[in-house]
Amino acid sequence: MKILLFANTFEYFKSRKNLIKFLLDKKFEVYVCADVDKFESYLEEIGCKILKFKIDKKGKNFFKELILLLKIFVTFKKVKPSLILNFTIKPVIYSSIASSFLNISHINTMTGIGIYFFKKNLFNYFFKFLFSFSQKNVNKIFFQNEENKRFILSQIARRNIVSEVIPGSGVDIEKYKSTFYPDEKIVNFLYFGRLLWDKGIGELIEAIKILKQKNLIFKVTLVGPYDSENIMAIGKKKLEEWVEKNYVTHFNYQENIKLYIEQAHCVVLPSYMEGLPRSLMESAAMSRPIITTNTVGCKEVVQNKINGFLCNVKDSKDLAKKMVDFINLNLSEKIKMGSEGRKIAEKKFNEKIVINKYFDAIESII
């Protein structure tokens, strides 16, 4: 039986590789559909069939987008999958439209709320209409938090959609676990992920300036690639300026992020809004305290003063205060905070929970 998984990039499926392996073990014929990148070879090696599309994540050219939709339609008609699992917004919309016309069952996963739901212009009104139209025959929608679920369902004309909240992609708690906590005197704060302004990195820099004025002993490590395609991307020159001023140390994308989490005392993510950030789940699983914003997605991972601190959104002064509060903890308090995070990860974010939810949904449909 054929199952097709569709996302913007093959790299996205790094977070779903154990789900894919599970489906392969269950003897499904697995097709993976996305834009071309270096991760496709790994998917081929584990037994997936690869379908390549050119997907412009920011594309607004009507004719190019229509051609993409037609290519998706033709591909689905040729492959004839029994079920399609869609991830990220364009596949969720385009694949759902094609699946509906071809009468193919499909399950959609909303990984967050994009800016197109909030901006008020002609294109975004059309986007919201297209999104609502595309969901008319969806079999099930998975969400990553309750607030996203309520908002997205309010945008869809159909009211009887089967939906469920699951902990994102979950985290492999056997892979992501820590054997030690660093006892160096210089507190190392770590941010890892895309280098975007709406991840709160600007506020983090302002908080760093405040801490430097207090002559505190600390350092901040940023790990992540430049994302020139994103309108919220932090420019290379700006990042180089921060490095030159000794605000941060920067490393580009790292395949093995575990090494950096292990070297960190605390992980920081002052994001404006998230679905359910994998970076925080991985950090909690590795017994690292977390400082993040009291906002959608982030607050699902952190219990304030238990496994980390919650700060106000877009508030560099409050972020700086929480960083100072963490620095002032003694070593045993920091270790205990990290241990509480590990307990939360084991209970709420175990990847096996997510995989079982998908398999239950698949079984109920096919």
Q: CATH number of the domain that 74 lies in?
A: 3.40.50.2000
* Among the ranges given (67-76, 87-96, 145-154, 180-189), the one the predictor scored with the smallest mean pLDDT: 145-154
With a pLDDT cut of 90, the percent of the chain lying above it is 75
In angstroms, the Cα distances linking 30 to 19, 33, 129, 277 are: 11, 10, 31, 26
> What does the angle CA 17 – CA 22 – CA 26 come to, to the nearest 5 degrees?
145
Q: How far apart are the C-alpha atoms of 353 and 142, rounded to whole Å?
A: 13
pLDDT band at 33 (very low <50, low <70, confident <90, very high): very high
Q: How far apart are the C-alpha atoms of 235 and 221, rounded to whole Å?
A: 17
The mean per-residue pLDDT over the stretch 59-66 comes to 81
pTM for the predicted model, two decimal places? 0.89
81 and 104 Cβ atoms separated by less than 8 Å: yes
Residues 360, 330 share a domain: no
Would you say residue 253 lies in a domain? yes
Residues 89, 159 share a domain: yes
Output the pLDDT for position 115: 60
The mean per-residue pLDDT over the stretch 172-178 comes to 93
Would you say residue 179 lies in a domain? no
Output the pLDDT for position 339: 97
Q: Is residue 250 predicted with pLDDT exceeding 90? A: yes
In angstroms, the Cα distances linking 99 to 81, 132, 249 are: 10, 15, 46
Note the Cα 363 to chain centre separation in Å. 26
Would you say residue 265 lies in a domain? yes
282 and 334 Cβ atoms separated by less than 8 Å: no
Q: How far apart are the C-alpha atoms of 213 and 234, rounded to whole Å?
A: 24
Would you say residue 295 lies in a domain? yes
Output the pLDDT for position 190: 98
Residues 336, 202 share a domain: yes
Would you say residue 181 lies in a domain? no
DSSP 308: E
Residues 227, 147 share a domain: no
pLDDT band at 154 (very low <50, low <70, confident <90, very high): confident
Residues 250, 157 share a domain: no
Residues 114, 37 share a domain: yes
The mean per-residue pLDDT over the stretch 304-311 comes to 98
Range of 213's domain?
187-348
Count how many domains the chain has: 2
Output the pLDDT for position 211: 97
Residues 311, 286 share a domain: yes
Output the pLDDT for position 129: 86
Would you say residue 180 lies in a domain? no
Q: Is residue 118 predicted with pLDDT exceeding 70? A: no
pLDDT band at 45 (very low <50, low <70, confident <90, very high): very high
Residues 144, 29 share a domain: yes
Output the pLDDT for position 116: 59
Q: Is residue 206 predicted with pLDDT exceeding 70? A: yes
Residues 281, 358 share a domain: no
Q: How far apart are the C-alpha atoms of 33 and 65, rounded to whole Å?
A: 16
